[in-house]
Structure 1
Amino acid sequence: MPPSGITVRLQKEENSSARHNVSPYLGQDYHRLVQECLKQRQLFEDPHFPAKSKSLGYNELGPFSENTKGIQWRRPQEICQSPQFICEDMKWTDVCQGELGNCWFLAAAASLTQYPLLKERVVPPQQSFKSGYAGIFHFQFWQYGEWVDVVVDDRLPVKEGELVFVSSAQKSEFWAALLEKAYAKLNGSYEALNGGFMNEAFVDFTGGLGETVKLKETPPNLFHLLQKAVKKKSLMGAFIQPQSQSQIENQTPEGLLTGHAYSIIATWEMKNNGKKIPLLRLRNPWGRVEWNGHWSDDSTLWSQVDPEIRKKLQVRGEDGEFWMQMEDFLRFFDILEVCNLTPESVTDKHAQLWKTNTFCGRWLGHSAGGCRTYKDTFWTNPQFLVTLTEQDEEKHGMCTLLVSLMQKNRRQCRSIGQDFLSVGFEIYQVPKEFDNKMCASERKNLFSSLVSVASCSFMDERDVTGRYQLPPGRYLLIPSTFQPHQESDFIMRIFTEKQHTFIEIDCEIRANGNVFKENALKDTMEEFSAQFARLSGEDQEISPEELQRILIQITSKNTHLKTNGFSLDICRKLVKMVDLNCNGKLQLEEFRKLWSKIKEWEKIFTNYDKDRSGTMDVQELCLALEAAGFTLNNQLVESLCQKYGNNVRQVYFDSFLSCLAYLVCVFEQCRIMDKNKDGVICISKEEASIYIKGTIYLHLQVFLLNLSIILFLLLCCLCLLQSCYWLARSFVIIIST
Structure 2
Amino acid sequence: MAPTGITVHLVKDDCSSKGNVTYYLDQDYKQLLKKCLQEKRLFEDPYFPAEPKSLGHNKLGPWSPDTVGIKWKRPQEISQCPQFICENMKWTDICQGHLGNCWFLAAAGSLTIYPRLLERVVPPQQNFQTEYAGIFHFQFWQYGKWVDVVIDDRLPTKNGELVFVSSAQKSEFWPALLEKAYAKLNGSYEALEGGWVNEAFVDFTGGVDESIDLKTPPPNLFYIIQTAVEKRSLMGTSINIQNPYETEMRTPEGLVKGHAYSIIGVSEVEHNNRRIPLIKLRNPWGEVEWNGRWSDNSQLWSLLDNALKDKLQVKGEDGEFWMQMDDFLRYFDTLEICTLTPDSAYSNTTKPWKNNSYTGKWVRGHNAGGCRNHRATFWTNPQFLVTLDGEEGKHHCTMLASLMQKDRRKGRAVGRDFLSIGFEIYKFDHMTQVSQRMNLISSMIPMVLSPYVAKRDVTGRYILPPGQYLIIPTTFMPHEESSFILRVFTEENNTFKEVDCEIRADGKVFQESELRMTMEEFTRHFQRLSGQARENIYANLYWTKDQEISPEELQTIFVQTTSKHTHLKTDGFSMETCEQLVKIADNIGSGKLQLYEFKYLWSKIKEWEHIFTKHDQDRSGTMDVQELRLALESAGFQLNNKMVEHLCLKYGDDLRRVDFDSFLSCMAHLMGVFGVCYRMDQNKDGVVSLGEQQWLQMTRLQ
TM-score (norm 1): 0.89
Distance 2:524 2:249 in 1: 89
Higher alpha-carbon deviation: 91-100 or 468-477: 468-477
Letter in 2 for 1:414: R
Matched, 1:593 2:600: yes
Name 2:252's counterpart in structure 1. 253
Q: Once the 2 structures are TM-superposed, how far is the Cα of residue 293 of structure 1 from its aligned partner?
A: 2.9
Amino acid at match of 2:572: G
Q: Residue in 2 aligned with 1:724?
A: none
Where do 1:258-407 residues align within 5 Å? 258-313=257-312, 317-347=316-346, 350=349, 353-365=352-364, 366-390=366-390, 397-407=395-405
Q: 2:679 aligns to what SS in structure 1?
A: helix
CA distance in 2, matches of 1:559, 1:244: 54
Q: In the TM superposition, what are the counterparts of 1:204-283 in structure 2 within 5 Å?
A: 204-283=203-282
**643-652 or 319-328, which deviates more:** 319-328
- Corresponding residue for residue 123 of structure 1: 122
Aligned residue number for residue 423 of structure 2: 425
- Tell me the residue number matched to 1:688: 695
Aligned positions of 1:486-635 closer than 5 A = 486-533=480-527, 535=530, 538-635=545-642
Amino acid at match of 1:647: D
Aligned residue in 2 for 1:449: 443
Determine the C-alpha separation between the residues in 2 that align with 1:50 and 1:688: 40
Q: Which moved more, 1:101-110 or 1:341-350?
A: 341-350
Q: Does the C-alpha gap of structure 1 residues 501 and 602 become closer, same or farther in structure 2, counting only changes over 3 Å?
A: same
Rounded to whole Å, the distance in 2 between the matches of 1:8 and 1:56 is: 50
What SS is found at the alignment partner of 1:55? Answer: helix
Shift of 1:585: 0.8
2:467 to 473, 486, 492: 473
Q: Could you say if the C-alpha distance between residues 260 and 324 of structure 1 is closer, same or farther in structure 2, counting changes exceeding 3 Å?
A: same
Query: Does the residue aligned with 1:452 lie in a helix, a strand or coil?
Result: coil
Question: In the alignment, what sits opposite 1:733?
Answer: none
The answer to whether the Cα contact below 8 Å between 2:231 and 2:347 also exists between their aligned partners in 1 is no
- Identity fraction in percent: 63
Q: Which has the higher mean CA deviation after the structures are superposed, 634-643 or 239-248? A: 239-248
Cα deviation, residue 562, structure 1: 0.8
Distance 2:82 2:311 in 1: 35
Residue ranges of structure 1 left out of the alignment (5+ in a row): 698-737
Give the equivalent residue in structure 1 for 2:533.
none
Q: Distance in 2 between matches of 1:546 and 1:507?
A: 38
**How far did residue 594 of structure 1 move?**
0.5
Q: Distance in 2 between matches of 1:264 and 1:386?
A: 33
- Work out which of the residue numbers 649, 657, 660 in structure 2 matches 1:642: 649
Residues 285 and 319 of structure 2 are in contact (CA less than 8 Å); yes or no, is this contact kept in structure 1? yes
Contact 1:210 1:338 in 2 (8 A): yes
1:670 corresponds in structure 2 to 677
Q: 2:261 touches 2:283 (CA, 8 Å); kept in 1?
A: yes
Question: Aligned runs of 1:36-115 on 2, under 5 Å?
Answer: 36-115=35-114
Superposition deviation, residue 491 in structure 1: 1.0
The one-letter code of the counterpart of 2:3 is P
Deviation at 1:315, TM superposition (A): 5.1
- Paired with 2:421 and 2:326, the residues of 1 have a C-alpha distance of 33
Asked if the contact 2:301/2:313 (under 8 Å) is kept, the reply is no
Q: Within 1, Cα distance between the matches of 2:211 and 2:470?
A: 22
- Give the match's secondary structure for 1:285: coil
Q: Are the aligned partners of 1:239 and 1:259 in contact in 2 as well (CA < 8 Å)? A: yes
One-letter identity of the residue aligned with 1:422: S
Q: Is the partner of 1:49 in helix, strand or coil?
A: coil
Distance (whole Å) between structure 1 residues aligned to residue 314 and residue 282 of structure 2: 12
Corresponding position of 2:540: none
Which 10-residue stretch deviates more, 24-33 or 223-232?
A: 223-232
Q: Which amino acid aligns with 1:578?
A: A
Structure 2 residue matching 1:576: 3-state secondary structure: helix
Q: Write the letter of the residue equivalent to 2:396.
A: M
The CA deviation at 1:15 is: 7.5
Does structure 1 retain, via aligned residues, the 8 Å contact 2:583–2:591?
yes
Compute the displacement of 1:232 (Å): 2.9
Structure 2: unaligned runs, 5 residues or longer: 531-542
Tell me the TM-score normalised to structure 2 length: 0.94
Alignment partner of 2:343: what SS? helix
Task: Spell out, residue by residue over 1:61-99, the C-alpha distance to the aligned partner (whole angstroms, 9 max, x if none).
Answer: 111111111111111111111111111111111110111
Number of aligned residues: 688
**CA displacement 1:534-564 (0-9 Å, x = unmatched):** 5265221111111111111101110111112
1:461 aligns with 2:455: yes
AA partner of residue 10 (structure 1): L
1:350 deviates by: 4.2
What whole-Å deviation, never above 9, does each CA across 1:383-441 have from its counterpart, x for those lacking one? Answer: 11112222699xx73322222221111111111111111221111111x3x23x1x100
Structure 2 contact 296–313 (Cα < 8 Å) conserved? no
SS of the residue aligned with 1:683? strand
In structure 2, distance between residues paired with 1:149 and 1:17: 14
State how far apart, in whole Å, the 1-side matches of 2:375 and 2:118 are. Answer: 47
Where 1:134 maps in the other structure, the secondary structure is coil
Q: What residue in structure 2 maps to residue 28 of structure 1? A: 27
Contact 2:388 2:467 in 1 (8 A): yes
Q: Which amino acid aligns with 1:62?
A: G
Larger-gyration structure (1/2): 1
Greater helix share, structure number: 1
In the TM superposition, residue 663 of structure 1 has moved relative to its aligned partner by 0.9
Pairwise CA RMSD of aligned residues?
2.2
* In 2, Cα distance between equivalents of 1:67 and 1:234: 37
The alpha-carbon deviation at position 690 of structure 1 amounts to: 3.0
User: Residues of 2 paired with 1:33 and 1:10: CA distance?
Assistant: 39
CA deviation after TM superposition for structure 1 residue 298, in Å: 3.8
Cα deviation per residue 1:270-295 (whole Å; 9 max; x = unaligned)? 44444343332222223333333333
Quick one: distance in 2 between partners of 1:226 and 1:391?
Answer: 26
Match of 1:712 in 2: none
In structure 1, the residue matched to 2:410 is: 412
Deviation track 1:38-80 (CA, whole Å, cap 9, x = no partner) reads: 2222211112111111211111111111111111111111111
CA change 1:473–1:316 in 2 (3 A) is farther
